[in-house]
Amino acid sequence: MKYTQLGRTGLKVSRLVLGTMNFGPQTDEADSHTIMDAALDAGINFFDTANVYGWGENKGRTEEIIGSWFAKGGGRRDKVVLATKVYGNMGTDGTPVWPNHDKLSAVNIRRAVDASLKRLGTDHIDVYQFHHIDRATPFDEIWQAIDVLVQQGKILYAASSNFPGYKIAQANEAAARRGSLGLVSEQCLYNLFERRAEMEVIPAAQEYGLGVIPWSPLHGGLLGGVIRKEGEGSRRASGRSAETLADPAVRTRLQSYEDLLDKHGLEPGEAALAWLLTRPGVTGPIVGPRTLAQLESALRAVELELSPELLTGLDDIFPGPGPSPEAFAW
């Protein structure tokens, strides 16, 4: 496994991030433990989760599965850089448990971190991420709450997820005024198919020293060889991916993508991950395996070297928007 610094911090993290969103809803506890053991054995030390994972009536279940894995001992907790998230509504019927039991008020941050620590069975969270912007809560209040948690030893770093560029700037300018470290990473939607983050989110992250952690690196499976798999009868796209794939123009682009990678003898999913590892500012993409085989495929991506010819071909099929303001102005 290869490692890098998380943004401007001294924290060393693996170039792949183990996403755990499937643990519980898709993958049972025993298999989840097997995947985490395999990830750790392969050198992946950065594990990502969220308080809401488990979904529906089972919100929090994913954190509990990670907690039961930590409880097995063997230095598991000490070897892992643990990241979880706060913001989500933890109620099970579509409404908050109580009016202040979601988003980023100081009240909810304090309550949510204690609840996550209990489910995770640990005394601290390494990277505590804001899952979404909270338009109603000023950053001075958010940083006051975070500073207290850092002083208490409950969290070490704060980070963002799904923040636009201007909110990254606002957050870290507010932190600087307080003498606080501020955000150290941004977790955003970024892949070959969806490159809008290149306009402002990634430049803002680089300017303020945040590591970039792409989620959905295969764009819901569309970049994982979906057309070939349909032809083989091994898998069909569903949900949003199926709706996107129904567009003839999208199918044409994806066919060109799969043909290009077939020419170079590469698996589409592995190449899509390897492409992200070449992108400026990227710490490592989140891989969310449902099975051990999917994890093994993701691990191979770290060792792939993409040729300049292939990178040019990928840009031709999936051109990025370019930097702002040139992307939308002269």
**Whole-number Å distance between alpha carbons of 160 and 172:** 11
Please choose, from the candidates 278, 221, 281, 289, the residue with its C-alpha nearest in 3D space to the C-alpha of residue 254.
221
CA 38/CA 235 separation, integer angstroms:
25
Can 208 be counted among the known catalytic residues? Answer: no
Contact 154, 145 (CB under 8 A): no
**Three-class DSSP labels, 258-274:** HHHHHHCCCCHHHHHHH
The residue annotated as part of the active site, out of 3, 53, 128, 208, is 53
Burial track 219-237 (b if 16+ CB lie within 10 A, e otherwise):
bbbbbbbbbbbeeeeeeeb
Query: Residue 25 to residues 56, 185, 265: CA-CA distances in angstroms?
Result: 10, 27, 34
Q: Which residues are catalytic?
A: 53
